[in-house]
């Protein structure tokens, strides 16, 4: 093979990587816009009458059609679908993320365990979160989800211990709210 052909062959994978990186940057930028995009103000009646999906979900699906290798996009869509009470769709997103990231990355496993939790399969969710907490003991997200599972099982003291162990500056708003709820509930008894 001539030197020019070798250079062209070697450059080809780089150009593909550059295209993927640029596409990912565009998709990340659109995701940031999505997070800032205000929700349309609707009443519950209007939401129940409207069959159209969330505009963030629609836009994210369009992005994923053109950039199907954006694993984080699949995870974000999975979170949106869980909020919309669509565990099957969220499960599909978790599987897509596992295909793209492999099993070494915790996020697809976290989403899968959350799907179990939202589907009422608490034992499976707890087993997954326990395994994840052993593998990633300093992850506030995993600890928070594990605490949510304990709360769902009525083990509020264990949930309180887990949430209290998360450093205050790393707690999410929902972890703060759950902690306040549990402290108040604990004081009632």
Structural domain including 79 reads 57-137
pLDDT confidence of residue 46: 41
**Does residue 86 sit within a domain?**
yes
**Does residue 94 sit within a domain?**
yes
Following DSSP, what letter does each residue of 89-129 receive, concatenated? HHHHHHHHHHHHH-SSSHHHHHHHHHHHHHTT-HHHHHHHH
Other residues' Cβ atoms within 10 Å of the Cβ of residue 144: 21
pLDDT digits (tens, 9 = 90+) for 34-53: 444 443 333 333 433 444 55
**Does residue 172 sit within a domain?**
no
**Does residue 146 sit within a domain?**
no
User: pTM score, two decimals?
Assistant: 0.67
**Does residue 82 sit within a domain?**
yes
**Does residue 187 sit within a domain?**
no
Instruction: 130-139: list long-range contacts, CB under 8 Å, 24+ apart.
Output: 132/106, 135/106, 136/106, 139/106
CA dist 126 and 5 (Å) reads: 55
Query: Can you give the pLDDT of all 189 residues of the chain as single tens digits?
Result: 444 444 444 444 444 444 444 445 555 554 554 444 443 333 333 433 444 557 888 888 988 998 899 999 999 999 999 988 999 999 999 999 999 998 888 999 999 999 999 999 999 999 999 999 999 998 999 999 999 999 999 999 999 999 999 999 998 888 888 888 888 887 776
CA dist 159 and 146 (Å) reads: 8
Cα 50 to Cα 42, 45, 54, 89: the distances in Å are: 10, 9, 10, 19
pLDDT confidence of residue 54: 72
pLDDT confidence of residue 16: 45
**Does residue 122 sit within a domain?**
yes
pLDDT confidence of residue 100: 93
CATH of the domain at 90: 1.25.40.10
pLDDT confidence of residue 185: 80
Helix axes 106-118, 122-135, angle to 10 degrees: 160
pLDDT confidence of residue 189: 65
**Does residue 145 sit within a domain?**
no
Number of domains in the chain: 1
pLDDT confidence of residue 28: 54
CA dist 29 and 90 (Å) reads: 22
Structure tokens at 94: 């978790």
pLDDT digits (tens, 9 = 90+) for 56-73: 888 889 889 988 999 999
């Amino acid at each position: 093979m001539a030197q020019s052909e070798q250079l062209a062959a070697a450059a080809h994978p780089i150009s593909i990587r550059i295209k993927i990186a640029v596409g990912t940057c565009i998709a990340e930028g659109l995701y940031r816009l999505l997070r800032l995009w205000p929700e349309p103000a609707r009443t519950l009646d209007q939401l129940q009458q409207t069959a159209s999906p969330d505009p963030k979900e629609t836009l994210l699906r369009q992005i994923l059609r053109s950039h199907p290798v954006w694993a984080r996009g699949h995870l974000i869509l999975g979170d949106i679908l869980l909020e919309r009470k669509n565990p099957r769709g969220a499960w599909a997103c978790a599987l897509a993320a596992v295909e793209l990231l492999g099993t070494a990355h915790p996020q697809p496993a976290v989403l899968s365990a959350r799907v179990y939790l939202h589907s009422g399969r608490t034992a499976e969710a707890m087993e997954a979160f326990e395994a994840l907490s052993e593998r990633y003991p300093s992850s506030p997200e995993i600890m928070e989800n594990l605490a949510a599972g304990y709360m769902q099982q009525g083990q509020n003291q264990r949930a309180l211990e887990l949430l209290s162990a998360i450093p205050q500056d790393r707690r999410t708003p929902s972890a703060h709210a759950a902690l306040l709820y549990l402290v108040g509930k604990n004081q009632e008894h």
